[in-house]
A and B are shown apart, each in its own frame.
Chain A
């Protein structure tokens, strides 16, 4: 479904990704784990075209999206739930959800999707008329995920969805990601919370200093000595 071939990318003259290759198959939950600054978020930002690769290529459903504008990528069915939520702070929760279904593809399915996300997130349903910035961190993360779902994605990218949340909320977030995948959306998730992520993922990639150092089924990675030492602290 998604294929990255030897992608190099960065900000200005700083190269962060030194030739990343990975693929995600339809229906999978794939995770990219790694430490701070390893290039996890940059990988997702490159896939969603917020930054353009300096070399290499990205393919989605057989189409080359390497140089495609960010808003076009969304129309193809790739939606990112960005790090730190990135809601529209002074718009209401409902307006944030409306922005989620901005694309031509998503707009006709607005009502149906709204029902779906409000059933999944009853707390969000109670807060529809509130400004997004007045919500707690956990509620904001739920709105960010709901907003992402509104755009009817085939592939959802999650950038550190558990960051800065209370442990109980973290568990809820992972439950929601599992539910989204179970309903047929493919998931690529980037996390520093390696243990919980590997538990819900099918496959994983380990990224270190902008390169993939290891990859394989999530169960296998969880049993790997290097990973247990470096990321799981066991």
Chain B
């Protein structure tokens, strides 16, 4: 019984991590209409930033957020402006090649610079076990859950209550009409891409103290995020949150009871079932995929 509860709590926390990563991915897809296959590599670069900032300045990993977020946001804007925007009106397959290419380039650049080694960010007390009676977890994991709730709530408020947020949604729903409102859509796309990858900037700060950093780490975390985004309905933030929690809990239980080898089979089995019975995803509208709320 204790173990069920512990697994449930761990699943929720794992789900929270997938949620943070997936929200950024689904936002970029819903608005800019780009599947960013380099999303995980932004996570990896951000984790390296966290590692070096803590190593050189000796600060708590969470403090590095003030450096990591602006840098990743700026990098995202740059990628949108230089790589995505010139291709925006071309065939969507070309955009896939572009972001896949970016992903490969980023991994290999980091392999060249830092080698295939593993870098461990100091845990700074975040690996302390909290024993809450039936459930046991790490303080760092609890913080991920809190951050995920704050992030999803914050993005929702931003998109619905601020003029920039509404402009972002308007651009996602009708780009030409947005231009006719006086919205600089190329700027909106840059900001959206920046916010999207800032989500993995946040994720990086939260997970670097718990997981080792390496050039391939992005692939590990982001594969399941693609599952989450498709399962939640492409472009839907609330769908991504729900799907992330489902995947997280399934992942935790299957990993514990069936073993690490079989757990992916279960996760992807459920994913396939969702695709067969609800191909538009849990929250996806059948009409179009620009839904962001």
Q: Residues 144-176 of chain A: 1 if any B CB is under 8 Å from the residue's CB, otherwise 0?
A: 000100010000000000000000000000000
Q: Which residues of A contact B163 (CB under 8 A)?
A: 98, 102, 107
CB of A31 within 8 Å of the partner chain: no
B160-196, CB < 8 A from A: 163, 166-167, 169-170, 173-174, 176-185
Chain B residue nearest to A101 (CB atoms) is B181
Distance of A69 Cα from B179 Cα, bound (Å): 9
CB of B293 within 8 Å of the partner chain: yes
Q: Is the CB of B180 within 8 A of A90?
A: no
Distance of A7 Cα from B177 Cα, bound (Å): 23
Q: Which residues of B contact A74 (CB under 8 A)?
A: 179-182
Q: Is the CB of B177 within 8 A of A86?
A: yes
Distance of A82 Cα from B169 Cα, bound (Å): 19
Q: Is the CB of A79 within 8 A of B180?
A: yes
Task: For B179, give its contact among A70, A87, A151 (CB under 8 Å).
Answer: A70
CB of A89 within 8 Å of the partner chain: yes
Chain A residue nearest to B173 (CB atoms) is A88
From B170, B174, B180, B293, name the one whose CB has the most chain A CB atoms within 10 angstroms.
Answer: B180
Known contacts A99-B167, A102-B163, A102-B167; decide if A70 and B173 are in contact (CB<8 Å): no
Task: For A48, give its contact among B167, B180, B185 (CB under 8 Å).
Answer: B180
Q: Is the CB of B180 within 8 A of A80?
A: yes
Q: Which residues of B contact A89 (CB under 8 A)?
A: 173-174, 288
Q: Is the CB of B179 within 8 A of A99?
A: no
Task: For A71, give its contact among B169, B170, B182, B288 (CB under 8 Å).
Answer: B182
Q: Is the CB of A88 within 8 A of B176?
A: no
Q: Is the CB of B181 within 8 A of A95?
A: no
Q: Is the CB of A98 within 8 A of B184?
A: no
CB of A75 within 8 Å of the partner chain: yes
Least Cβ distance of A129 to chain B in Å?
13
Chain A residue nearest to B186 (CB atoms) is A69
CB of B291 within 8 Å of the partner chain: yes
Chain B residue nearest to A110 (CB atoms) is B163
Q: Which 9 A-B pairs have the closest CB atoms?
A: A74-B182, A103-B182, A70-B179, A86-B177, A88-B173, A71-B184, A102-B181, A99-B181, A88-B170
User: Could you name 25 residue pairs across A and B whose Cβ atoms are closer than 8 Å?
Assistant: A50-B176, A70-B180, A71-B181, A74-B180, A75-B182, A80-B180, A82-B180, A86-B174, A86-B180, A87-B174, A88-B169, A88-B174, A89-B173, A90-B173, A90-B290, A90-B291, A91-B166, A91-B169, A91-B173, A99-B170, A100-B181, A102-B182, A103-B181, A103-B182, A151-B181
